[in-house]
Structure 1
Amino acid sequence: MKRKDFFKTSSLAFLGTALTPSISANSRTGKRSFQTAKNIIFLVSDGMSNGTLSMADLLMQRQYGKRSTWLTLYDEHLVSRALMDTASANSFVTDSAAASSSWGGGIRVNNGALNVNADGSENKPILQKFKDAGKSVGCVTTVPITHATPAGFCVTSKKRDDQSEIALKYLSLRFDVMMGGGLEYFSKEKRSDRQDVFKLFKDSGFAVVRDKKAMLELDHNKPVLGVFHEAGLPFALDAAHQPEKSNLPTLAEMTGKAISILSRNQKGFVLQVEGGKVDWAAHANDCGALLYDQLAFDEAVKVAFDFAQKDKETLVVITTDHGNANPGLFYGSKANSNFDTIIKHRFTNEWILNGVNSQTSATLLRDRVMEAQGWILTDEEARELLAYYVHLSDEGLYNPRHLPFKRFAQLQEKHTSVGWGSMDHSGDYVELAMYGPGRELLQPFIKNYELHQLMLDATAIKHYS
């Protein structure tokens, strides 16, 4: 075969296997015996590139003298580990809706859709299947609970952005625990249709909680809706240095409370846990926000692992839906000391740039950067950044004001040695780890949609239509 024909044929074959489901988890795993899992805790660090995992572990070692929980599980050989591809039905590079739908519905869908195929047919989400089987189910996240990743486990929708409608779908599904942000999709003051969705949930028998104290005090058998903030919860770094944010739960606290509620069911439970703002930080090229939210996610991993280690009947899945921005710590004579400056960060790039306007002076901006992160912005750099504030707009998903996140990260790089490949998702293969009964089903390489059947197999749950 000619060389060009070989590459042409190989590329076409790869496209066929990457974009079209072709093999079931059963055929991949065979009939090996394994202990059935009663529960599943599925943890997703949304948008976590491998560089994010690596740098968070390094930061943990430099700041606290120990490894992250995730890497400790690798160190101590406690998990099965694989690479997972992350393609959607129409692209090598997925969005979060299609990625979660691959897990949730077991079939790849186009970017932007939630468990709805290109022909309009729908795939039943996995939490509905587990609920039908008698298990308790739920999701907790640091972004709106109606956002793409939790929604992909829960609902069908042609448009991931129809979050007001997704909130109403949660009402009818009556899942046992749903907690995160997204106040604007439940509050009558924020919704365009002025429906009081909080009242609808309360009238339907839900316990509705709006702050950490009320969440921690939950002790009953009602289904729970917890909505703690408009949009996503604050970045972990910002929240840690703002006393007024102390009424907001961490992801680890939400995870612990969700487990305590769901585990009362003798038939078991399935919980999805999402560190959603890891993805938002990557979109903004915000290294402090990224790494401290990854470490906040790692605390939730520890909560899940500690429970599973005692319980002996819980499969813990730890992964990401896709990479984002491909950050990394790059070579230089000051790489170590530069990276250590992140330990001194008190606030994120978002906190800095959202506190600036067209009237801010270069001196005030320099002072703000020094206060927040301890490094010196030159007058010329400050004036360059302030030029972006002359014309701001309100369009866009992750940066609606079009603030100068990219340029700020470029200026910051010489102080942190952290660089970025882009400001968007990547098509990388990603890390996947499993602990507990059912981990034997994991192969060294897996396609994202295969996790759907693997979870059903691990719990011995049949397909519920």
Structure 2
Amino acid sequence: MNRRSLLKGGLLAGLSVPLVGLKDVIATPVGGPKKAKNIIMMVSDGMSIGTLNMADLYANRAYGKSSKWLGLYRDNKAVRALMDTASASSMVTDSAAASSSWGGGMRVKNGSLNVGINGEKPQPILQKFKEKGKKVGCVTTVPITHATPAGFCVNIDNRGGQDIIAEIYLGLKFDVMMGGGSKYFGEKREGGDLIPKFLTQGYKVAENRNEMLALDKSKPVLGLFAEDGLPYEVDRMHDAELQKTVPTLAEMTMKAIELMKDHKDGFALQVEGGKVDWAAHSNDLGGLIFDQLAFDEAVGKVIEFAEKDGETLVIITTDHGNSNPGLFYADEANKKFDRLQRFKHSNTWLLAQLDQSFSEQKIMEMIKENQGIEMKSEDVKSLLSHFKDIVPGQLYNEANLPFYEYGKILGKYTDVQWAGMNHTGDYVELTMFGPGSEQLKPFVKNYELHNFMLKAAEMPKHFLVTK
């Protein structure tokens, strides 16, 4: 069934309303809405519109076809809106406040997870769905205790307490939790190893791709595939061992759906491409584009499922922009942008290999081998000058890597430039497919999605957040 895909009407003004009213977000449906048995909310964390744009350009030039996300627009399959992403403390949100707006139905200050400015602790949406009988879960490429998944799950005033969040998850007994962050659960965790407790509570714990693929739905699942965040997709793609051991976002997503889809009361799942945000913070072009494309692959798989299922509302969005990258005008913009097709590794991976004792020639060879760029001598010298305070012969940890400088240098060779290294206050893309999507209005505020999801699933009124 075709759905409207163009923005119509005016924008709603104001940032200060803390709680959602249904009439503000839900249009009058024609013929009555169909219930969404399942809800899948997909978040490309920190995705500026330029990121979505460039991933689509890459897909068209490298593969001869549109990205799955923008393909929904081209094929007139989805409803599209703009979303205001502000928090209670700023027009520019962080991921914790952004996810809490969806998870708790109210705006909270940056850094908080579902704890309001007056101490309110609204019940997070996955707890509501679990209480009503649905299976629930989160999938991410960063720690599963990170801000975006946690915003759907917990109430805690400090997003940095990831070891505490891990323990809260134990008590919640959600059905599928998969991503990185093993250091917040295992032997390295401050406060003690939680893995034996998860096993005692009946969980199946998967620590690599094969263990994940072998999972069945007999037990709840905790999947931990990296100590911190998962590798960037461009690095995983060019490392045979990582391909064997680390699942893709699409693989984790489809396994989560497989484990929950036959439940009689349906399921609710949050899917996050978390390292899109990390790459934007680092001005890491290869990390950014290929992780966005990995997210897009998951979008395609989810839409395939939803089309066949007919009872699944899919929401695709981001929590905020980040660094506002874009392809800028130049005489050889096409040729330069196509250099991305030769990237084998992210800037993060490459810079971590560089040693101050290396010759300029060796660094040039490394850059050409791993990113396909023949870098000029003066640019290599400029890059090396930013390592001058590092002990010679030492491998550089991420805290000391010159991300900004290297991102700026690469801009000469790719024509992709960055506006900064942090979150932005942009209105963002909001896309919906499936039952309930016809109710979306052209402009919404982030906190309004909480009741929107509950209403689409026909949850009892006492679960709705009201003024």
* TM-score for both structures, normalised by structure 1: 0.93
Structure 2 Cα separation of the partners of residues 149 and 291 of structure 1? 20
Structure 1 Cα separation of the partners of residues 141 and 264 of structure 2? 28
Contact kept in structure 1, 2:20 and 2:447, CA below 8 Å: no
Q: Does 1:65 align with 2:64?
A: yes
Distance 1:177 1:216, change over 3 A: same
Which residue of 2 is the match for residue 271 of structure 1?
269
Which residue of 2 is the match for residue 435 of structure 1?
433
1:12-54 per-residue CA deviation (whole Å, 9 max, x = no partner) reads x95xx21333651234425532001000010000000000001
Give 3-state SS (helix, strand or coil) of 1:371's partner. helix
Counterpart amino acid of 2:152? F
Task: Please give the residue correspondences for 1:378-397 in structure 2 after superposition, counting only pairs within 5 Å.
Answer: 378-391=376-389
Which residue of 2 is the match for residue 358 of structure 1?
356
Q: Does 1:330 align with 2:332?
A: no
Structure 1 Cα separation of the partners of residues 288 and 367 of structure 2? 17
Contact kept in structure 2, 1:19 and 1:90, CA below 8 Å: no
1:204-239 per-residue CA deviation (whole Å, 9 max, x = no partner) reads 100000011011111232100000001110000000
Counterpart amino acid of 2:447? Y
Give 3-state SS (helix, strand or coil) of 1:401's partner. helix
Counterpart amino acid of 1:147? H
Which residue of 1 is the match for residue 210 of structure 2?
213
Quote the offset at 1:358 in angstroms.
2.9
1:148-197 per-residue CA deviation (whole Å, 9 max, x = no partner) reads 00000000111001000000000000000000000110111x1123x121
Counterpart amino acid of 1:208? V
| 5+ residue gaps, structure 1 | 1-12, 394-398
Quote the offset at 1:118 in angstroms.
1.8
Counterpart amino acid of 2:252? M
Which residue of 2 is the match for residue 262 of structure 1?
260
1:39-94 per-residue CA deviation (whole Å, 9 max, x = no partner) reads 00100000000000010000001000000000110001111100001000010000
Contact kept in structure 2, 1:19 and 1:92, CA below 8 Å: no
Q: Does 1:175 align with 2:174?
A: yes
Counterpart amino acid of 1:426? T
Task: Please give the residue correspondences for 1:174-253 in structure 2 after superposition, counting only pairs within 5 Å.
Answer: 174-188=173-187, 190-193=188-191, 195-246=192-243, 247-253=245-251
Give 3-state SS (helix, strand or coil) of 1:72's partner. helix
Counterpart amino acid of 1:198? I
Counterpart amino acid of 1:210? E
How many residue pairs get aligned? The number is: 444
Structure 2 Cα separation of the partners of residues 28 and 81 of structure 1? 13
Structure 1 Cα separation of the partners of residues 317 and 203 of structure 2? 30
Give 3-state SS (helix, strand or coil) of 1:389's partner. coil
Contact kept in structure 2, 1:112 and 1:159, CA below 8 Å: yes
Match of 2:16 among 19, 27, 32: 19
Structure 1 Cα separation of the partners of residues 250 and 390 of structure 2? 36
Contact kept in structure 1, 2:20 and 2:451, CA below 8 Å: no
Distance 1:362 1:420, change over 3 A: same
Quote the offset at 1:419 in angstroms.
0.6
Counterpart amino acid of 2:212? M
1:238-292 per-residue CA deviation (whole Å, 9 max, x = no partner) reads 0000111021100000000000001121100000000000001111111111111
Structure 2 Cα separation of the partners of residues 357 and 191 of structure 1? 31
1:393-412 per-residue CA deviation (whole Å, 9 max, x = no partner) reads 9xxxxx95131111111111
Contact kept in structure 2, 1:305 and 1:316, CA below 8 Å: yes
Which residue of 2 is the match for residue 135 of structure 1?
134
Give 3-state SS (helix, strand or coil) of 2:87's partner. coil
Contact kept in structure 2, 1:83 and 1:429, CA below 8 Å: yes
Which residue of 2 is the match for residue 373 of structure 1?
371
Distance 1:113 1:170, change over 3 A: same
Counterpart amino acid of 2:86? A
Contact kept in structure 2, 1:34 and 1:438, CA below 8 Å: yes
Counterpart amino acid of 2:205? V
Counterpart amino acid of 1:368? M
Structure 2 Cα separation of the partners of residues 452 and 85 of structure 1? 14
Structure 2 Cα separation of the partners of residues 88 and 272 of structure 1? 20
Structure 2 Cα separation of the partners of residues 360 and 232 of structure 1? 29
Q: What is the alpha-carbon root mean square deviation over aligned residues?
A: 1.6
Distance 1:28 1:272, change over 3 A: closer
Contact kept in structure 1, 2:96 and 2:147, CA below 8 Å: yes
Distance 1:375 1:28, change over 3 A: closer
Structure 1 Cα separation of the partners of residues 275 and 297 of structure 2? 14
Contact kept in structure 1, 2:59 and 2:65, CA below 8 Å: yes
Structure 2 Cα separation of the partners of residues 172 and 35 of structure 1? 33
Quote the offset at 1:390 in angstroms.
3.3
Which residue of 2 is the match for residue 42 of structure 1?
41
Structure 2 Cα separation of the partners of residues 452 and 83 of structure 1? 16
Quote the offset at 1:359 in angstroms.
2.6
Q: Which moved more, 1:374-383 or 1:300-309?
A: 374-383
Distance 1:391 1:20, change over 3 A: farther
Contact kept in structure 2, 1:25 and 1:451, CA below 8 Å: no
Contact kept in structure 1, 2:20 and 2:105, CA below 8 Å: no
Task: Please give the residue correspondences for 1:107-146 in structure 2 after superposition, counting only pairs within 5 Å.
Answer: 107-146=106-145
